[in-house]
């Protein structure tokens, strides 16, 4: 089956065409992404109204380019999928409404995709990753450890109690005078910094649960920056390196807690999967690789272009759900909030969970 996917939950306007083959494998036929980073840079973060208007202006052209690049037309698409949440509601409405129009006119199935589910299933687009696996979802808006038991079948093991990991990177970048988006800039500065210079806290370290907290770490960075102000270039690099190392230490500890909770409930995970924009961080990837080796499992991380928000992951999640017989009516609602463990399960998954 060939599925058109639309992503507009935050500050990327994206569309893609993905094919799911009979053997369950996938191939990306096109993947077009327009970043709004320039529109939001002056504000140090995403402005919802600006984001929604930018989606309206760009989406039709992005969809047309995705179809042309894939060698397809609306007439040759089997289904259309759109991110229906969670996200900035204005942008979600733009993408989902567009998908509804396409589905109505072409009389093809509509799949309203949970944005988090799309991140969680994206590794299966690049290779065979059987269920169940342990997902570490790390993005600008979300930080979770999830047991992925099947399509539509998710159990949240841990989550952040305050800031998401990507938000902490962005706010740290702003505190030390870097631009937006902050994650890549903090990573770049950290590469030339001394991670041992500042004794930053490691929140939640050693806790039996698998939850995260980053607000105290962010505050500690601000206090250190104020203490040594004005900041020289090396000060910025050292603060970024110290912050990044603190984040990595916390993530490794929290993942171990999550893996210890995973196995008794769901069996040995087939893989440790990392997804979301922060999963592109090279230092974090190296640390996750070490966790996977010690846990005697494999680490699976999509390439960077599939970690950040994109249409291919939405199309793939739509294809996976469609293969399970899951579609949505044209009156399906957009959602600003949509917990991953509340998505609709396939009938066989519901039966298995109830038994």
Structure-token pair, residue 58: 């760009």
Task: Give the Cα separation of 142 and 276 in Å (integer).
Answer: 8
Query: Above 70 in pLDDT, residue 354?
Result: no
Quick one: CA dihedral 4, 125, 281, 84, positive or negative? positive
pLDDT (mean) for 246-251: 98
Give the pLDDT mean for 264-269. 94
pLDDT at 349: 62
Chain-wide mean pLDDT for the chain? Answer: 94
Position 42 confidence tier, pLDDT thresholds 50, 70, 90: confident
Q: What angle do CA 275, 129, 11 make, to 5 degrees?
A: 25
Beta-strand pair 143-150/110-114: unpaired
Q: Is the pLDDT of residue 355 over 50?
A: no
* pLDDT at position 352 over 60: no
- Measure the CA–CA gap between 302 and 288, rounded to whole angstroms: 13
Q: Taking the CA of residue 202 as centre, how many other CA atoms within 13 Å lie in the half-sphere pointing to its CB? A: 14
Task: Return the pLDDT at 353.
Answer: 46
| Of 11-20, 40-49, 221-230, minimum mean pLDDT range | 40-49
Tokens representing 249 are 């230490």
> How do residues 318-348 score in pLDDT, each as one tens digit?
999 999 999 999 999 999 999 998 999 998 7
pLDDT at 351: 39
Cα separation, 295 vs 210, in Å, equals 16
pLDDT at position 350 over 60: no
pLDDT 10s digits, 75-131: 999 999 999 999 999 999 999 999 999 999 999 999 999 999 999 999 999 999 999
Neighbours of 29 (CB within 10 A): 20
Nearest to 297 by CA among 261, 270, 274: 270
State in Å, rounded, how far the first CA of the chain is from the last one: 32
Res. 223: pLDDT tops 60: yes
Nearest to residue 91, comparing CAs of 35, 181, 15, 7?
A: 7
**Over the stretch 127-157, which tens digit does the pLDDT of each residue have?**
999 999 999 999 888 899 999 999 999 999 9
């Amino acid at each position: 089956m060939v599925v058109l996917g639309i992503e507009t939950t935050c500050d990327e306007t994206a569309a893609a065409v993905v094919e799911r083959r009979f053997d369950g494998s996938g191939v990306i036929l096109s993947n077009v992404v327009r970043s709004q980073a320039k529109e939001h840079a002056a504000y140090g973060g995403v402005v919802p109204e600006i984001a929604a208007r930018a989606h309206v202006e760009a989406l039709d052209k992005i969809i047309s380019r995705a179809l042309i690049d894939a060698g397809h037309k609306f007439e040759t698409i089997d289904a259309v999928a759109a991110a229906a949440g969670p996200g900035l509601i204005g942008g979600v409405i733009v993408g989902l409404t567009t998908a509804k129009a396409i589905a109505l006119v072409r009389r093809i199935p509509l799949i309203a995709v949970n944005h988090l589910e799309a991140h969680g299933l994206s590794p299966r687009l690049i290779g065979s990753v059987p269920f169940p696996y342990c997902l570490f979802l790390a993005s600008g808006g979300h930080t979770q450890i999830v047991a992925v038991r099947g399509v539509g079948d998710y159990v949240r093991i841990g989550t952040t109690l305050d800031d998401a990991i990507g938000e902490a990177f962005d706010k740290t970048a702003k505190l030390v005078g870097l631009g937006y988006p902050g994650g890549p800039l903090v990573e770049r500065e950290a590469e030339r910094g001394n991670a041992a210079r500042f004794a930053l806290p490691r929140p939640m370290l050693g806790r039996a649960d698998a939850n995260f907290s980053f607000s105290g770490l962010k505050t500690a960075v601000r206090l250190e920056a104020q203490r040594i102000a004005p900041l020289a270039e090396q000060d910025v690099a050292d603060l970024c390196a110290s912050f990044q190392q603190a984040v990595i230490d916390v993530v490794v500890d929290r993942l171990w807690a999550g893996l210890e909770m995973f196995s008794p409930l769901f069996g040995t995970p087939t893989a440790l999967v990392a997804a979301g924009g922060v999963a592109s961080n090279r230092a974090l990837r190296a640390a996750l690789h070490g966790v996977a080796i010690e846990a005697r499992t494999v680490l699976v991380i999509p390439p960077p272009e599939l970690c950040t928000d994109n249409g291919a992951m939405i199309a793939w999640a739509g294809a996976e759900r469609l293969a399970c017989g899951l579609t949505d009516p044209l009156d399906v609602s957009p959602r600003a909030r949509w917990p991953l463990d509340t998505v609709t399960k396939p009938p066989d998954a519901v039966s298995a969970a109830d038994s």
